[in-house]
Amino acid sequence: MTTLLDVARVAGVSRATVSLVCRNSPLVADKTRLKVQRAMAEVGYVYNRSAANLRSSLANTVVLIIPEIANPIYSDLLSGVEEILTPLGIAVFIADTIESLERQSQILLRMLEMRVDGLIISAVAGTSPKSLDAYIRMGIPVVQVMRGIEGAQFDFAGTNNRLGTRKATEHLLSLGHQRIAFVGSAISPSVNQQRYLGFCEAVEMHGLAVDAMPVILSRHSFNAGALATKTLLAQPVRPTGLICFNDPIAFGATLGLYELGLVPGKDVSVVGFDDIEAARNWRPPLTTMSIEAQLIGKHAAMLLAERMKNRDLPISSLVSEAVLKKRETSAPPRIRA
């Protein structure tokens, strides 16, 4: 295994100089730099980050902790994060907690032991702020993304859920729908609460009774969305529009409609939430609220980068607004009420 010393010997300079070249410091003269780089190539030198990290306590590494890697919004989020951090020479690792508190604390400990430079976390429901105390003690910046931790004092990047569903619901109301169902989440109670509130706001602002609007909770799968939809449409008075908690549920809803011989966007309108990539590739293309996950990722990364530069900044939130993507699953209701 070759080290700085080997390179130094071949290049005929000191260890310290080679180290400076590694970190491309402006201190070294161009001639020397070239000589060193040639020597590095010659001996096949590979930088040892553990050693560097031990001495400098800078890992140039940030971890993105997400609850469910299979959910495509997190890959959008990741690409936003990388867009900001990669040019800064920071590597981004991903860790998947699979919605398990135990796994999450394992991962948190591991990252602490690795002395990562920062954390972007979409915490599992029920996470205690105490589980991040060690990070505060060690001065490692933490940014919350998408999901906040109750009672935690960290920067946050996310979307305005309440406003988002309000806009979605207003869209259907303005198309003339009078009976709109809310297909909520049985998985993320806190976010669901916010999104349901927005739904209620829109309905009330339109002078309709919230009680008249059916509500059902669903898991985040196609099948669950389809079942929920079939249940809703089996009721005596059918809704003409569906506001879904997220896109996968909305996809399930359209599948459920097809099974009932109904055409989404013609017989019943369906609106999703998130705007994952599949939404624009759906048939028919799904009307949904875009949270612009990639932008949220950029926000989170920017907050983290700022705080890495200066830990005394006041805590801040970057809450973006979801925008309506009107596609083909929403239209005026067939029969005006």
Partner DNA sequence: TTTTGTCTTTGTATCGATCTAAAATTCCGG
Partner DNA sequence: CCGGAATTTTAGATCGATACAAAGACAAAA
> How near is the Cβ of 288 to its own copies at its closest, in Å?
14
- Closer to DNA by CB, 57 or 235: give it: 57
Q: Exactly one of 9, 34, 52, 309 binds DNA (CB under 7 A); which one? A: 52
Binding partner of residue 323 among its own copies, DNA, none, CB under 5 to 8 Å per kind? none
183: nearest Cα among 146, 235, 230, 148: 230
Closest CA to 286 of 270, 268, 267: 270
Per CB under 7 A, the list member of 24, 34, 41, 56 interacting with DNA is: 56
Strand order of the β-sheet with 180-185 is 215-218, 180-185, 241-244, 269-274, 287-290, 323-325
Q: Which residues of 24-47 are buried (b: 16+ CB within 10 A; e: fewer)?
A: eeeebeeebbebbbebbeeeebee
Of positions 24, 27, 42, 44, contacts its own copies by CB under 8 A:
44
List the x/- string, 134-173, binding to its own copies by CB under 8 A. x--xx-----------------------------------
Q: What is the DSSP string of 187-250?
A: S-HHHHHHHHHHHHHHHHHTT--GGGS-EEEE-SSHHHHHHHHHHHHTSSS--SEEEESSHHHH
The alpha carbon of residue 141 and the mean position of all alpha carbons in its chain are separated, in whole angstroms, by 18
Count of residues that bind DNA according to CB under 7 A: 28
Span near DNA by CB under 7 A; candidates 13-21, 74-82, 118-126, 319-327: 13-21
In the complex, the smallest distance separating the C-beta of residue 62 from DNA, rounded to whole angstroms, is 18
Question: Is the CB of residue 303 less than 8 Å from the CB of residue 317?
Answer: no
Residue 282 interacts with, from its own copies, DNA, none (CB under 5-8 Å by kind): its own copies
**Which secondary-structure segment (H or E) carries 289?**
strand 287-290
55 binds DNA (CB under 7 A): yes
Q: Give the nearest distance from C-beta 120 to its own copies in angstroms.
A: 15
> Residues interacting with its own copies, by CB under 8 A?
1, 44, 46-51, 53-54, 59, 69-70, 72, 74-75, 78-79, 91, 93-96, 98, 110, 112-115, 134, 137-138, 221-224, 226, 252, 255-256, 258-259, 277-278, 280-285
